[in-house]
Amino acid sequence: MTWFLCICTFWLLMVMVLAQKNFNVLSTQKSFNVVPAQNFNQRTGLETSCLGSYMRLTVDKSLAFGNEVEFDAVNGSQIEPLTPSLAAKCGFRIDSDPWGNYKVFASLLNCFAGNEDDAVFDIDMRVRMRGVKAAQDVFEVEKTCNYDQWSPREVLCTRNYMEVSVNRLPEEITALRKQVMLPRSKKFGDQWSETVTEAITSRQNIWRMVFFTPKQKAMVLEDALRTGYSIATTRSRLVLRSGYDMPETYVENVNGVPMKVIKVTTYFKKEWSVTMLDTVAACPTGGLSFTDEMITWNFPRFNPLMSSRAASLLEVFMGIDGKQIDSLQMEARGYYLTIVDDLIVMKIPTGGPDGYYKSHAVNNQYHITYNIEPMLELLWSDGAMDTTRYKVLFPIQTPFMPRPPHVDDLTDVDQKMFDVLLGPFLNDIELVNITFSTEVLTVAEANARGINIQEQRFQNGSKAFRLQVPFSDSFVVITQVDVVVRVYTLGIIYGFMVLPEYTPFSYSSSVDVTLQDIILPTVRGSCDDEKFHIMISFGNLGKNFNIMIGTHDMTPDRKAEYGVKENNTHTSLAVPFLASDVVYELMYASSLRARIDVLLWDPSKKWTLSDFSLACNFPMTMTECFSNGTMSALAVKVESVPQLVPHQLTLRDPSCRPKFSNDHFAYFSFEANSCGTTRTFHDGVVTYQNEITLGNGLPVYQLSKGVPTASPDPEYRVTMSCSYTLNDTQTIAFFTKPRENEPMPETGFGELQVVLRLALDGSFNQFYVEEDYPVVKYLGSPLFFEVMLLQSTDPQIELVLENCWATLKEDRNSTPRWDLIVDGCVNLADGYETVFHPVDPNSIPFPMHVKHFEVKMFTFVENDVVLQDQIFVHCEAVLCDDSDGICKRHCPSPLPLKTGKKVRRETTNVQSQRVQLSSRKIMFSSS
Ligand SMILES: *[C@@H]1O[C@H](CO)[C@@H](O)[C@H](O)[C@H]1NC(C)=O
Ligand SMILES: *[C@@H]1O[C@H](CO)[C@@H](O)[C@H](O)[C@H]1NC(C)=O
Ligand SMILES: *[C@@H]1O[C@H](CO)[C@@H](O)[C@H](O)[C@H]1NC(C)=O
Ligand SMILES: *[C@@H]1O[C@H](CO)[C@@H](O)[C@H](O)[C@H]1NC(C)=O
Ligand SMILES: *[C@@H]1O[C@H](CO)[C@@H](O)[C@H](O)[C@H]1NC(C)=O
Ligand SMILES: *[C@@H]1O[C@H](CO)[C@@H](O)[C@H](O)[C@H]1NC(C)=O
């Protein structure tokens, strides 16, 4: 591919009729009304520099304060906003980095520059903060650049345009000029050709332009301008500027590097002369390769602008941001620029300070790129042809590098505070909002709500976002995973923006903390004689539980029954020990060991929160032994016999069933001589005994895996006994089937009434009553005494008088005393003869319960002096079985009466089981 610059002037052989055209004249000479810079000199944020064929203007971020910055070109008094299309057409390039630093490259040949002899260029611009109208936010920039080192051809490649300018004046390009002259007219001298060439290549003489795409396409100047090309002539140069996406450009692959080419031949025509200028620019659009550490940019050693491979490179420079750097600077930065075979190779380490990192959101993922704009500047000579100065300002952006942020969980469990650090991010990331479990908040809203959001900056300019949310915040989701363990979860979606283009992306994270921080409810209890008093203290979850008493949940009825009281922290209740929810562990003679089970459980998770049991002994009369021989007994269903049905219980006689029963109790009441009650006598004590069982020999059904199986062995037996002494009653023994370590029942006491009465006469039908005493009797007159067991209906009991005696004083143990009956027999030493009288079996229901005896009224004398005219009679009686030996005592025959004084006698036979009976005062009457 050869393409070379030439300016050719042809003689027109034909007379061409040219229509007079009104060209739009692009003024290359402008007269500027120079507006004094208002703030420019005071401001440090603006900097301009002349860098060869262009000017660079930088605007520091500190000037913009985050505002977007816009630029205007100033054309005399006219101000033209630099839109992207105007900038590309007129030779401006505007760039910014994420921090808000702006960079403008303005070609010295831009549409608006003031141009004096292609050597002094005045560029006026305005820098404007978008949206701010205040005058101080508009800065006037005036810069004058001197540049007269124009090569015959200068090519400038920037991101948004390609510019080529060529010398159009013959005298300045004589070295390369190839002049073709048609036969001279006699009218014109030798000077003609040069003059005419200068004149002919002025803009108004552009006759037509031929674009090579690479197919030829001819246009007139107006069409080319309308299409968007910029075509201008300065005093000595023809300037062509084109965007990369213009229709008449094309791509050419040069040594593996794609290049965009614009190639135009411009024909100037004046009268019979036509001059032709070739303008061509070729700018690379590729050639990059990347590793993580290195950017490699390949540029073809021989490019389409060179006429041949003979072109020799005179200068090769590297630059950054449009400015040449020297080898020392290159070395310091680690840049390489070499020529390898057919390529010029530039190597730039990723991450150097001349470039910058920028954030991107790609598929909602955080990525960064490294951006740098190297410059390649070449000067070559095309053999015999002219030199070309060639500059490429080549912005490079590395491929997207994913940088998933890291969540640093700094949560402080003691402070009960989620603390999450998310980063790192570049500075061009802004946290916009945060989506919590229930709400989306902006950063300001979140902070106002007590959520602490901070931006943390690192030394290298990166930053991270720190978020602190108390566990107690409603955004924290609490899940109870165990009876005492909760998981606190903070789910967050961060809403970010990439500045300045406001690309949104989000990042979801979730942190959780497992805490064993549940205080379970507790149960305490105590008992009085009637009730269990239960106090439930709620844990830290409040009343989140159900109460089960025994095996039943609390119902409204039970609440009322147990007097449930509740406030925010406690529930109290009082359960009577006879309540149906109470279970009985043991029966004692006079108490019942009862237990209440209180279970607190979580109704949703079915967790047991507290399991409480309290057992107490409650006083309770289990057996009563009445004097009339009636016995009552209570059988209690105890826990150890779960299958017991109280109403099935019987006494020994299975026909003796409970008088009353419910689920827990069976109440028996029966006569001592019935229901298989046994009686035993021991030492004057009569003991009745019966037992309550689950029927004699009747099987007890046990539930075993749902199938009833008969158990031949009654598991339940309550033995009760009533032990009677005279006036004393002993009661019951209880036990279920004997078990080890079980306390034996205690013994209770009762009484059995025996009376000693004085009858009016030997018929024993009438008796002296209280008011009759003291009874007065004559000496020797008979006293008829009756001793009788009251109330008892047991026909087999016999009341036996063991000892009877008389005393002078009321105290039964006083002296003097006189024995009347000794060991069940009349005192044979008694001259006053005590006589037992039989009891008429038909006169009363239980003759064995009665003893009659008679003594003659007597007095106590000492030394033949009557001591006092009164006596008291005392007896000791015992109960015995009518078949017992003690009752069948054989008394010796009465001895002949002795006369004389009564003899004192010691009595040793005093037993506690004996009933002590005493008469009231009996007076002696001598009249
Ligand atoms: C510059 O201003 C002049 C006169 O105001 C105008 O004719 C010319 O078209 C302007 N140039 C541009 C590029 O706008
Ligand atoms: C900046 O520093 C932070 C913290 O030291 C680090 O995580 C991050 O990778 C650094 N960023 C760059 C671009 O070096
Ligand atoms: C939150 O921010 C993200 C990212 O900037 C945005 O896409 C989203 O619409 C925002 N949500 C709300 C509710 O404002
Ligand atoms: C709730 O009741 C308990 C026990 O009766 C009592 O100690 C506590 O002070 C009460 N609390 C309130 C807030 O009334
Ligand atoms: C015995 O006395 C008790 C209590 O006074 C009474 O309930 C019961 O009926 C009496 N028994 C007889 C047989 O009179
Ligand atoms: C029976 O015994 C009690 C004391 O155990 C006594 O108070 C009461 O008087 C006695 N009754 C008779 C009739 O002796």
| Spatial separation of the C-alpha atoms in residues 163 and 239, rounded to whole Å | 7
User: Secondary structure of the chain: what % helix, strand, coil (to 5)?
Assistant: 5, 50, 45
Mean pLDDT of 321-333: 94
Half-sphere exposure of 736 (CA within 13 A, CB side): 24
CA of 85 to the centre of ligand 1 (A): 16
pLDDT at 384: 61
pLDDT at 41: 43
Residues 6+ apart with CB under 8 A from 400: 360, 362, 367, 368, 369
Q: Is the pLDDT of residue 374 over 60?
A: yes
Q: Determine which residue's CA is closest to atom 6 belonging to ligand 6.
A: 727
Q: Which of 55-69, 378-392, 600-614 has the highest mean pLDDT?
A: 600-614
Strands 486-498 and 477-480: antiparallel
Mean pLDDT of 889-916: 46
| Spatial separation of the C-alpha atoms in residues 35 and 15, rounded to whole Å | 50
pLDDT at 729: 46
Percent of the chain with pLDDT over 70: 81
- Give the ligand whose atoms come closest to the C-alpha of residue 33: 1
Q: Which atom of ligand 3 is nearest to the CA of 502?
A: 5
Mean pLDDT of 718-727: 74
Q: Quick: pLDDT tens for 683-699.
A: 667 788 888 887 654 44
- Give the ligand whose atoms come closest to the C-alpha of residue 671: 5
Beta-bridge mates of residue 924: 777
Nearest CA to 70 out of 138, 136, 3, 11 is that of: 138
Q: What is the dihedral angle through the alpha carbons of 177, 178, 183, 187, rounded to the nearest 10 degrees?
A: -10
Indicate the length of the chain as a whole number: 927
Q: Where are the alpha helices (DSSP H) in 426-477?
A: 443-448
CA of 921 to the centre of ligand 6 (A): 19
Residue 441 Cβ < 6 Å to ligand 3: no
pTM of the model: 0.63
pLDDT at 888: 61
| Spatial separation of the C-alpha atoms in residues 100 and 542, rounded to whole Å | 56
Q: Which atom of ligand 1 is nearest to the CA of 75?
A: 1
CA of 502 to the centre of ligand 3 (A): 11
Residue 497 Cβ < 6 Å to ligand 3: yes
| Top-confidence residue, 390 or 46 | 390
Q: Is the pLDDT of residue 2 over 50?
A: no
Residue 674 Cβ < 6 Å to ligand 5: no
Residue 296 Cβ < 6 Å to ligand 2: no
Q: Quick: pLDDT tens for 229-267.
A: 999 999 889 999 999 999 999 999 999 999 999 999 999
Q: Which atom of ligand 2 is nearest to the CA of 357?
A: 13
CA of 520 to the centre of ligand 4 (A): 17
